[in-house]
Amino acid sequence: MRILFPIAALLAATAAAAAPIRVDINSGIAQPLPIAVPGFATPAATPTEAGTTAEIGGRVAQVIANDLKSSGLFRPLDPTAYTSTVEMPDVLRPEFASWRTIAAQALVTGSVTVNPDGSITVGCYAYDVFSAEELARQGFVTTAAGWRRAAHKCADLVYARLTGETGYFDSRIVYVSETGPKTKRIKRLAVMDQDGAGHRFLTSGQNLVLTPRFAPNQQTITYMSFEGNRPRVWLYTLGSGRQQAIGDFPNMSFAPRFSPDGGNLIFSMSVGGNTDVYRLEIASRKLTRLTSQPGIDTAPSYSPDGSRIVFESDRGGTQQLYVMNADGSGQQRISFGEGRAATPVWSPRGDLIAFTRLGGGRFSIGVMRPDGSGERLLTNAYQDEGPTWSPNGRVIAFFRSARGGPVDLWSVDLSGQNERKLGTPLDGSDPAWSPLLP
Amino acid sequence: MLQRSLALPLVAVLALGVSACATKKKDLPPQPTTATTVTPTTQPPATTTGEAPPATVSNTNVPGSAADFVAQAGADHVLFAYDSYELDEDARTVLGKQAEWLARYPQVRVTVEGHSDERGTREYNLALGDRRATAAKNFLAAQGVDTSRMTTISYGKERPAADGSDEAAWAQNRRAVTVVAGN
């Protein structure tokens, strides 16, 4: 467990005696850390397939600033407040005095250079402005067109150095894009970077599709499709666009998720009005039934070590959360609060389970420990549903339906703060956050 | 000559339409008298047909059709209480009539759709829709409808009948719909 200073103490401390700069992300941020992210420098403005290195340098800084701002932990300073542009020598030896005059606590700077093979190197440097110390530096080599990922990796580096937690910006979100009247809703799989860039649709909208989830390798997505009026679990291969049903089961299969090793799928199947959780070994197509109680057992999700599965069941009368061993043994109820608990999903850190709490005419996103203790509600709305974890387990995305209104993707951090809407071209639901990209 | 060759197929189409209707039902609506105006003339055919008043066509239910099913059974759907898949008396009455109709047309196959309102989580509602479809199908089976003639599908909360977000709409959306195949 890391010992983190609350931000107020930190501000006083850094001003007084150059104590290590640190952002406390556990207690919620009263005042985000002021940070300067000037446009990245370049030795010479060199043309690339994605614009000149000078242009890329400006865009890299914008993406980093936007990432850091979106976390709610940082307050990027207005670039127009900067006195001058950053040149190459400034990257290695910043003029800390001038950054202090605009009250920047931290500085992210860097450079963009073209390599002999046409690739680019994005150099990423983070400094503590008051102590005039370097906090981190890393170079990222990518194609010119891949500059966004270098920017996200730089933002992850800064986030990790200042919070002590792994970052989450170099990741993607797959979700269901929605449009049209509710009675004839058109739903399509879509994928985008976590900041909304690089958005693209994966399916045409001809078939109703639901609940997409990434494979651990992020190359495959499992989802439910009504293709041919046979609702069942499918796989979508991102590179080729290939779509394939996982099996010819006679009954509806749905709510799929991958095992952490990617070798198995768990999902629900309904047989004669009774819904149970099953596991399919993908290579052998071997199907194993994991629950057998009468009732609706659905929304299964593995623990990150693959040893346990959390799911919801109404076997006790209403929807509640249960945990079992991966082989189906030891099924135990863990949720007991007011109302119902549904759609559990295990944190990638293993320490918490996010879920949907239904009660009092509201749908909220909550978290609890895997033993059911420590329940906290993070949101409270007409209908918030379907949580998914950022790769570092610090932020939860979900979808929010306004009464009679739009359906949108939102995120909230673990402290229940920084609730924000994620931009999508149309309405959005069923988000699933990818792991960090390799 | 060009105009004439264009006009002729139109007459043929109209004649076909009338005779196709005639095979379906005995008490047909009156023959559309305006059909006679579509004779080949030297006028462009489009103008000629465009000037004619529209024919009067009323719908009628063909025995064994989906429309006839709804008319005879009273409804193609039954409603459920919140989070319930229990068939109440109204539902059993409707399903009983549906079973009677299905007994008269043993060649007809049906799909029973289960639906929920929007006030539940997505996965649970898929399972709940399956429960509702299965409850309706099992009732029909108990009334003598062969299970080989019936399939079920759940749409959960994905295909509401009413698009409102109030109790009146939700009540309409918690339903099982018996859909006659091939119509």
User: Is B163 an 8 Å CB contact of chain A?
Assistant: yes
Q: Which of B136, B111, B132, B125 is nearest to B159 (CA)?
A: B125
pLDDT for A247 equals 87
CB A53 within 8 A of CB A92: no
- Does residue B60 fall inside a structural domain? no
Q: Which of A270, A293, A301 to mutate to test the interface with B (most CBs of B within 10 A)?
A: A270
Query: Can you give the residue range of the structural domain that contains B21?
Result: 2-51
Domain with residue B116: its CATH number is 3.30.1330.60
Q: How far apart are CA A124 and CA A102, in angstroms?
A: 21
- The verdict on B39 and B71 lying in the same domain is no
**What residue segments make up the domains of chain A, in order of their start?**
7-163, 172-433
* A345–chain B nearest CA distance, Å: 13
- The verdict on B40 and B111 lying in the same domain is no
Question: What is the domain count for chain B?
Answer: 2
* A313–chain B nearest CA distance, Å: 9
- The verdict on B32 and B93 lying in the same domain is no
Residues of A in contact with B128 (CB under 8 A): 296
Candidates 1.10.3720.10, 3.40.50.10070, 3.20.20.80, 3.90.1150.10; CATH matching A7-163: 3.40.50.10070
Counted residue by residue, chain B has a size of 183
- The verdict on B21 and B111 lying in the same domain is no
- The verdict on B77 and B162 lying in the same domain is yes
**pLDDT tens, position by position, for chain A (438 residues)?**
233 333 333 333 344 444 667 787 666 556 899 999 999 999 999 999 999 999 999 999 999 999 999 999 999 998 887 766 888 889 999 999 999 999 999 999 999 999 999 999 999 999 999 999 999 999 999 999 999 999 999 999 999 999 999 999 999 999 999 999 999 999 999 999 999 999 999 999 999 999 999 999 999 999 999 999 999 999 999 999 999 999 888 899 999 999 999 999 999 999 988 999 999 999 999 999 999 999 999 999 999 999 999 999 999 999 999 999 999 999 999 999 889 999 999 999 999 999 999 999 999 999 999 999 999 999 999 999 999 999 999 999 999 999 988 999 999 999 999 999 999 999 999 999 999 998
The residue of chain B nearest to residue A209, with distances taken between CA atoms, is: B158
- The verdict on B160 and B123 lying in the same domain is yes
User: Is B45 an 8 Å CB contact of chain A?
Assistant: no
Q: Which of B6, B26, B8 is nearest to B16 (CA)?
A: B8
- The verdict on B95 and B156 lying in the same domain is yes
User: Regarding the domain delimited by A172-433, which CATH topology (the fold level of the hierarchy) does it fall under?
Assistant: Neuraminidase (2.120.10)
Q: What is the CA radius of gyration of chain A?
A: 23
- The verdict on B75 and B162 lying in the same domain is yes
Are B122 and A319 inside 8 Å of each other by CB?
A: no
- Does residue B44 fall inside a structural domain? yes
- Does residue B71 fall inside a structural domain? yes
pLDDT for A6 equals 36
- Does residue B57 fall inside a structural domain? no
- The verdict on B18 and B102 lying in the same domain is no
* Interface ipTM: 0.92
Distances (CA, A) of A373 to A52, A336, A345, A370: 54, 9, 15, 7
Q: Is A126 helix (H, G, I), strand (E, B) or coil?
A: strand
